[in-house]
Amino acid sequence: MKSAMIFRLLMLAGGLALALLPSFAQAAPPVERVFRIEASSFAYKPGQIQLNLGDRVTLELVSMDVVHGLYLDGYDLSLTADPGQTARLTFVADRAGSFRFRCNVTCGAMHPFMIGKLTVGPNHSFTLAAGLTISAIAIFLLIHPRRASQ
Amino acid sequence: MTRHELTRFPLIKALLKNRWPQLAVYAALLAGFIFAIFAGFVGSPVGNHNFSIVFVWIAWWAMLILAAVPFFGRGWCAVCPIPLPGEWLQRGAILELAPTGKGVSLGRRWPNPLRNIWMQNISFTLVALFSSVILTMPLITAVVLSAMFFLAIGSSMVFERRAFCRYLCPVGGFIGLYSQIAPLELRVKTTRACASCKEKPCYHGSEAGYGCPWQVFPGGLQKNSYCGLCMECLRTCPVDNIAVNLRPFSSDLATPTKRLDEAFKAFIMVGAALIYAGVLLGPWGALKDAAYRIGSGVWFAYVGVFLSVLFVLMPSLYALAVKAGMLLAKTSSAVRPAFAAMSAALVPLGLMFWVAFSLGFVFTNATYILAALSDPLGWGWNLFGTANIPWQPLFTGLLAPLQTLVLIAGMLWSAETAQKVASAAGVRPLPVIIYCLLATLVMLGLLL
């Protein structure tokens, strides 16, 4: 019984640490970055981009087949590239978190699922959510210890 | 448990007993369904400019997963247009009651070996395997909807009652699973009245209405899974013993299943939600490519992984968790019944996985609904002046917090369910709770 209680408390501590610790992590200094993103039906290459908070970023979107676009969730930015052309967009990554970017020009059947991911800083959305989930279940088990150990 | 009978309100009861309101909804939805098929065949091949894709896979799906199933259980089945033409032919009537024998059906009994939901598990899995083209290509959507339509008619011509809904429909299977969660149920008021009723008109029919199309005897109803909420029994019961009740969420899960077909439905749904989140909403182009290139080598590899995850990996790990729970409880009985019973924990988890997944693409694609309303065939019409509304994802800032909250709620709900059924199953719930926690963390990782 005692070991079960220790397990649950450790789970709670671990969950809270996972949720909160990334907030105290030392951020890397912002730099200037350029990413070339090749868009072809129905994927971006690279599909995932990692940035530091404060980075000044230029995205170069190159369409490899038909017209493709890129809309960045959270930042509400978009650009469109004609086939063989390069479209550029420069912004400062001043919002931490994980954001999807998606094609904003109908490009074919799987167009609604042409999606990439841009992460600014550590993926705090995930660590926060995972930490909260673990903490929530630990608290649940602490509140209902008898039923859990039936 | 507290229940509030809705049918004690005369207006509600009258609305449910009267066939006209139901027929009006049926007629509207049947027209919409046939138009979706028409649009799929003749409209634009571009999915997000075609009624069949936008209204079936965005509008209807959002309504189904975010509202109808969680709150009304089989409420959709009560108004679903797919079985109607077959049922009308089978009965030989649309609205009025027809004398027995007027309809055109062989009226065969559904074969005993298939009196389970394995066929529905297979039909859903097939749809899921081809989902990348079904969800995006109007023509394929039209073919699938037509196939369901004619299969429903065909099964009504051969078999008695609604064999398609009960045993074949790929959607009906998971609606039945998740209807156990809904705070709405149809039950008898007292089983004594049913025991003393000799004619059983609720099952066999009478001059007041048809026998249960879902082949259910209401007096034996203990869960929502197979009650289609068609209200025939409310019309036929001679002693007014049928009630539609409001009840606490997930009441049915207190009596967990003993059947493996139902248990596997829960795995199929959780596994499919995880795979969809990775393949359709994830940033991995190679996965999308594999899912989309039907018939290619990579697609067969995708099929292999898909089936392995749904039918081998997830159930095996769950069986290990259940076995660990049995060892902790020092229970020496067979694993299979405990495995089936503990699958109840996956029901709320799976529903919340689907809610979180659906939020991800419904919010981002909802503006297509307004455009398709004005130009449903993609022919350049502008019926309501909304055809040129630009695509704009909605609430993207709220999406991650909302998905997180939904998944945490699902996790806690599944933990509570695991605890409730564990003692009857003879296991300790902790390993199953840890399994659900790990599945939730994977889902969070895929969505965020």
The per-residue pLDDT for B99 is 62
What confidence tens digit (pLDDT) does each residue in B42-69 have?
999 999 999 999 999 999 999 999 999 9
Pair A40, A107 in one domain: yes
Rg (CA), chain A: 21
Q: How many domains does one find in chain B?
A: 3
Q: Are residues B192 and B302 located together in one domain of the fold? A: no
Q: Are residues A77 and A136 in the same domain?
A: no
Burial B159-170 (b: 16+ CB within 10 A, else e): bbbbbbbbbbbb
- Contact in structure between B125 and B268 (CB atoms under 8 Å): yes
Buried b (16+ CB within 10 A) or exposed e, A36-59: ebbbbbbbbeebebbbbbbbebeb
- At residue B397, does pLDDT exceed 90? no
Cβ pair A112:B47 closer than 8 A: yes
In chain A, the N- to C-terminal Cα span, in Å, equals 11
Distance (Å, rounded) from C-alpha B183 to C-alpha B421?
19
Task: Clarify whether residues B119 and B134 are in a common domain.
Answer: yes
Residue-wise pLDDT for B297-306, tens only, equals 999 999 999 9
Instruction: Identify the bridge partners of residue A71 per DSSP, sorted by sequence position.
Output: A78, A102
Q: Counting beta carbons within 10 angstroms of the beta carbon of residue B386, is it exposed (0 to 12), middle (13 to 18) or buried (19 or more)?
A: middle
**Residue A37 Cα, gap to closest chain B Cα (Å):** 13
Instruction: Please check whether residue B3 lies inside any domain of the structure.
Output: no
Instruction: Say whether both B161 and B202 belong to one domain.
Output: no
Does the pLDDT value for residue B101 go beyond 80?
no
Residue B218 has a CB neighbour count (10 Å cut-off) of 24
**Helix crossing, A124-143 with B396-425: angle to 10°?**
30
B371-384 average pLDDT score? 95
Q: Is residue A116 domain-shared with residue A129, that is, in the same domain? A: no
Most confidently predicted of A3-12, A15-24, B273-282: B273-282
Does B292 contact A42 at a Cβ distance shorter than 8 Å? yes
Interval B78-88: pLDDT, tens: 999 999 999 99
How many Cα atoms within 13 Å fall on the side-chain side of residue B357? 28
Q: Cis check for the bond before A42: say yes or no (omega within 30 of 0).
A: yes
What's the pLDDT tens digit per position in B315-338?
A: 999 999 999 999 999 988 899 999
Does the structure show a pLDDT above 90 at B273?
yes
Residue type for position B262: E
Instruction: Please give the structure tokens belonging to residue B107.
Output: 């009226």
Mutate to test the interface with B, among A110, A125, A132, A140 (most CBs of B within 10 A): A110
Shared-domain flag, residues B420 and B325: yes
Q: Sheet harboring A48-51: ordered strands across?
A: A48-51, A115-120, A97-102, A68-72, A77-81
- Please check whether residue B71 lies inside any domain of the structure: yes
Residues in chain A: 150
| Tens-digit pLDDT profile for residues B226-241 | 999 999 999 999 999 9
pLDDT value at A147 more than 60: no
Query: Any residues with CB less than 8 A from the CB of A142 and at least 6 apart, and which?
Result: A5, A8, A9, A12
Query: Domain span at residue B37?
Result: 20-98+115-178
pLDDT at position A146 is 60
In a domain, residue B436? The reply is yes
User: What local confidence, expressed as pLDDT, does residue A136 receive?
Assistant: 95
Report the mean per-residue pLDDT for chain B: 95
pLDDT for res B83: 96
Question: Chain B contacts of A100, Cβ < 8 Å?
Answer: 281, 283, 364, 396
Over residues A41-70, the pLDDT tens digits come to: 889 999 999 999 999 999 999 999 999 999
pLDDT of residue B350: 98
Other Cβ atoms less than 10 A from the Cβ of A85: the count is: 11
Interatomic CA distance for residues B170 and B439, integer angstroms: 24
B336: tokens are 């299979």
Tell me if A81 sits within 8 A of A66, measured CB to CB: no
Q: Which among B178, B196, B230 is the end of a domain?
A: B178
In chain B, pLDDT over 90 holds for what percent of residues?
A: 92
- On whether both B258 and B229 belong to a single domain, the answer is no
Q: For a pLDDT cut of 70, what percent of chain B falls above it? A: 99
pLDDT confidence tier of residue B102, bands split at 50, 70 and 90: confident
- List, as ranges, residues 99-138 from A with C-beta within 8 Å of B: 99-100, 102, 104, 106, 109-117, 123, 125-126, 128-130, 132-134, 136-137
Residue where one domain finishes, among candidates B199, B228, B252: B252
Distance, in Å, from the CA atom of B219 to the CA atom of B241, rounded to the nearest integer, reads 9
> Do both A20 and A37 map to the same domain?
no
Please give the pLDDT value at position B98.
64
pLDDT(A148) > 60: no
Q: Are residues B164 and B246 in the same domain?
A: no
Nearest chain A Cα to B441, which residue? A130
pLDDT class of B100 with cuts at 50, 70, 90: low
Task: Provide the pLDDT for residue A145.
Answer: 75
Chosen from B44, B419, B438 to mutate, greatest number of chain A CBs within 10 A: B419
Q: How far is CA A130 from CA A113, B434, B441, B446, in A?
A: 25, 13, 6, 12
Q: Is residue B97 over pLDDT 90?
A: no
Residues 6+ apart with CB under 8 A from B323: B335
Q: What is the pLDDT of residue A41?
A: 84
Token pair 């963390």 is found at: B441
Q: Can you give the pLDDT at residue B211?
A: 94
Quick one: pLDDT at residue A72?
A: 96
Is the minimum CB–CB distance between A78 and chain B shorter than 8 Å?
no
Query: Measuring CA to CA, how many Å separate B254 from each of B166, B264, B416?
Result: 23, 18, 11
B119-147 burial, b at 16+ Cβ within 10 Å, e below that, comes to bbbebbbebbbbbbbbbbbbbbbbbbbee
A vs B, Cβ pairs < 8 A, gives 131
- Whether residue B311 is found in the same domain as residue B404: yes
What pLDDT is attached to residue A86? 92
The average pLDDT across B281-286 equals 95
Single out the residue in B236, B252, B268 at which a domain terminates.
B252
Domains in chain A, number: 2
| pLDDT value, residue A1 | 65
Contact A104, A75 (CB under 8 A): no
pLDDT tens digits, one per residue of B130-182: 999 999 999 999 999 999 999 999 999 999 999 999 999 999 999 999 999 99
B294: chain A residues, CB-CB within 8 Å = none
Q: What residue spans of B313-366 are helical by DSSP H?
A: 314-328, 335-342, 346-365
Closest CA of chain B from A126, distance in Å: 6
Range of the domain at A133: 1-25+122-150
What distance in Å separates the CA atoms of residue B448 and residue B436, rounded to the nearest whole number?
A: 18
Of B1 and B251, the one with more pLDDT: B251
Whether residues A38 and A92 share a domain: the answer is yes
Considering the domain architecture, whether residues B356 and B411 belong to the same structural domain is answered as yes
Are A42 and A110 found together in one domain? Answer: yes
Both A10 and A34 in a single domain? no
Sorted by sequence, the CB contacts under 8 Å of residue B399 that are 6+ apart come out as A73, B359, B360, B363
Kindly report the CA angle at B218 between B215 and B219, in degrees rounded to 5? 130
